[in-house]
């Protein structure tokens, strides 16, 4: 079955060149050719069989998938785990071809993206410049103003002070408290460690938002494919990470997520914030 013609900027985004915003700029700059002719109109139609090149290098559409999963408790957020009854890729049809973007603890519920787009996954999992992630947290104890201030200013952990978090105390009862916390890093078990350092052990933890994505309408245990607009928003988040990395002082290494034997991003490193 032949493919319907699509806008050039959409073609470039689906080929993994960048977000539609960055691809729009690339086309207007004169860096893109179609069948050997320079095209500066981003909505130029590209038909099946057309040859598209960026700065002289041919690009092609990729067979990529992007799936959002609301992970249940008891499921490991890796492709394989001999100690877990279930792994997250088994929640999605043909999920064994996908890789989790970051990870959540077995006892943590919430959003994880599965994809076979290794470039985007590695950008999103960068440990220092990860996309913002919002968690609903239930802790044991009373959350004081001092504790809230510490979360908002940075909590001292064994691997350094955390970046400021956005925190909203939603409910305080006699023994527990409910909060929404947004962090911008991806350290291992970061949210749990932040609260433990303040004497507030975490009883329940759920990731409600991952960058532009939310769990609205997606029950725990369910999954859905991402729309073109959602994938584009994730690409923009990844590009923001790239720009932040480029601004680093030379000599300050920033390791990207590892890859496994299959050549894709591994779920065992990177964004392990919960």
- Chain centroid, CA 32 distance in Å: 28
* Cβ(213)–Cβ(113) below 8 Å: yes
63, 81, 90, 105: the active-site residue: 105
189: left (phi over 0), alpha (psi -120 to 50) or beta: left
SS3 content of the chain, % helix, strand, coil (to 5): 25, 30, 50
Q: What's the maximum distance between 2 C-alpha atoms anywhere in the chain?
A: 71
Q: 114, 115, 171: which is closest to 143 by C-alpha? A: 171
Q: Are 17 and 11 in contact (CB under 8 A)?
A: no
Q: How far apart are CA 136 and CA 209, in angstroms?
A: 9
From CA 239, how far away is CA 203, in angstroms rounded? 35
Rounded distance between C-alpha atoms, residue 88 and residue 65, angstroms: 15
Q: Is 105 a catalytic residue?
A: yes
Which residues contact residue 87 at a Cβ distance below 8 angstroms, ignoring those fewer than 6 apart?
A: 75, 76, 77, 78, 79, 80, 81
Residue 37 makes CB contacts below 8 A (sequence gap 6+) with none
Where in the sequence numbering do the catalytic residues fall? 105
């Amino acid at each position: 079955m032949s493919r319907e013609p699509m806008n050039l900027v959409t073609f470039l985004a689906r080929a993994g060149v960048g977000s539609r915003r960055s691809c729009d700029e690339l086309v207007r700059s004169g860096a893109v050719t179609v069948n050997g002719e320079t095209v500066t109109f981003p909505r130029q139609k590209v038909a099946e069989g057309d040859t598209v090149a960026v700065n002289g290098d041919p690009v092609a559409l990729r067979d990529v998938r992007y799936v959002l999963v609301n992970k249940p408790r008891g499921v490991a957020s890796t492709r394989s785990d001999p100690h877990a009854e279930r792994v997250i890729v088994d929640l999605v049809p043909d999920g064994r071809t996908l890789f989790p973007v970051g990870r959540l603890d077995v006892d943590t519920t919430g959003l994880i993206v599965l994809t076979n787009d290794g470039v985007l996954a590695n950008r999103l999992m960068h440990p220092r410049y990860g996309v913002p992630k919002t968690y609903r947290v239930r802790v044991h104890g009373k959350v004081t103003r001092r504790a809230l201030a510490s979360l908002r200013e940075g909590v001292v952990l064994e691997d350094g002070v955390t970046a400021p978090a956005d925190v909203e105390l939603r409910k305080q009862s006699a023994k527990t408290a409910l909060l929404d916390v947004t962090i911008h890093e991806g350290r291992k078990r970061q949210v749990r460690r932040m609260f433990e350092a303040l004497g507030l052990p975490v009883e329940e933890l759920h990731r409600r938002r991952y960058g532009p994505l939310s769990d609205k309408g997606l029950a725990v245990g369910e999954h859905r494919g991402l729309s073109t607009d959602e994938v584009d928003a994730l690409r923009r988040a990844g590009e923001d990470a790239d720009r932040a990395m480029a601004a680093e002082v030379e000599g300050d290494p920033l390791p990207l997520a590892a890859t496994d034997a299959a050549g894709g991003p591994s779920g065992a490193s990177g964004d392990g914030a919960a």
